[in-house]
Structure 1
Amino acid sequence: MIGIVVSGHINYATGMQSAVKAIAGEQEQMAFIDFVETMSTEQLEERLRQAAKEVDSGEGVLFLTDIPGGSPCNRALSIMMDTANVELVAGANLPMIANAAFERDGAELKELAATLIEIGTSCVQDMRKELEAVMEPEPAECEDGL
């Protein structure tokens, strides 16, 4: 099973942990690392490296971080650059993280990353447009088909 490490600013990771537990139950090989105000970026990287080692069973580790270019992303990127079988997806949202729990068993690491990106982008929706599309009346059909 692919190991997953979720990280983000302040309580992002532990907040996601609570939500994932409610949706998918308690998860093995899944770590949640918050980057809090009292932590240096070096300490964050140490925690991320340790978490990656703890969740890796040999099928790889996928980092899911909050903001592309933020400290959790940058430190996970550093790990990805010097560690084999590690991938990183930044800008992760709850649908991505919850689905990672369901989709990771038996998946390939790069395949899982691609699937989660697809899920994440498809879940971003303008709900006014969605509602307007549903509420729009369908054109009436003519009896003679014209």
Structure 2
Amino acid sequence: MIGIVVSGHINFASGVKSAVTAIAGEQAQMKFVDFVETMSTDDLEADLRAAAAEVNSGEGVLFLTDIPGGSPSNRATAIMMDTPLVEVIGGANLPMIVNAAFERDDVELAELVEIVLEIGHACIKDMRKEFEAAMTPAAEEFDDEGL
């Protein structure tokens, strides 16, 4: 099973943990690392490395971080650069994280990255447009029989 480490600013990771647990139950090989005000970026990287080592069973580790280019993403990327079988996705949302937990068995790490990115893109919706499309009747097809 691919290990997952979720990280973000302040209580992003711990907040997501409560949502993931409510939706998917307790998850093995999944850690949540908050980057709080009292931590240095070196402290964050040390915690991320420890979490990655803890969840890695040899099939790889996927980091899911809140903001691309933010400290959690940057420090996870530093780990990716010197550790085999590590990937990082910045800008992760709850559907991506929950589905990563569900989809990580019986796939390779690169496949999981593609699945998670596809889910993330598919779950971003303009709800006004979705509502309006649902309320607009479909154009009736013309039946040209008897003409």
The CA distance in 1 between the partners of 2:53 and 2:143, in whole Å, is 68
1:138 shift after superposition: 2.5
Give the TM-score of the pair, scaled to structure 2: 0.95
Q: In the alignment, what sits opposite 1:82?
A: 82
The CA distance in 2 between the partners of 1:110 and 1:143, in whole Å, is 48
After TM superposition, which residue ranges in structure 1, 4 or more long, deviate above 4 angstroms? none
| SS of residue in 2 equivalent to 1:67 | coil
- 1:84-115 per-residue CA deviation (whole Å, 9 max, x = no partner) reads 11000110000000001110011100110110
User: Is 1:109 equivalent to 2:109 in the alignment?
Assistant: yes
Aligned letter for 2:32?
Answer: F
The CA distance in 2 between the partners of 1:67 and 1:49, in whole Å, is 19
The CA distance in 1 between the partners of 2:141 and 2:115, in whole Å, is 40
1:134 shift after superposition: 1.1
Aligned letter for 2:82?
Answer: D
Q: In the alignment, what sits opposite 1:19?
A: 19
Q: In the alignment, what sits opposite 2:121?
A: 121
The CA distance in 1 between the partners of 2:140 and 2:109, in whole Å, is 49
Q: In the alignment, what sits opposite 2:67?
A: 67
The CA distance in 2 between the partners of 1:125 and 1:21, in whole Å, is 24
How many residues align structurally? 146
Q: In the alignment, what sits opposite 2:4?
A: 4
1:143 shift after superposition: 5.1
Aligned letter for 2:40?
Answer: S
Structure-2 change in CA distance of 1:25 and 1:42 (3 Å): same
Give the TM-score of the pair, scaled to structure 1: 0.96
1:141 shift after superposition: 4.4
| SS of residue in 2 equivalent to 1:138 | coil
Within 5 Å, which residues of 2 pair with 1:39-50?
39-50=39-50
User: Is 1:138 equivalent to 2:138 in the alignment?
Assistant: yes
- 1:3-47 per-residue CA deviation (whole Å, 9 max, x = no partner) reads 000000000000110000001100010000000000000000000
User: Which structure 1 residue ranges, 5 or more long, are not aligned?
Assistant: none
The CA distance in 2 between the partners of 1:37 and 1:53, in whole Å, is 24
User: Which structure 2 residue ranges, 5 or more long, are not aligned?
Assistant: none
Identity %: 69
Q: CA RMSD in A?
A: 1.2
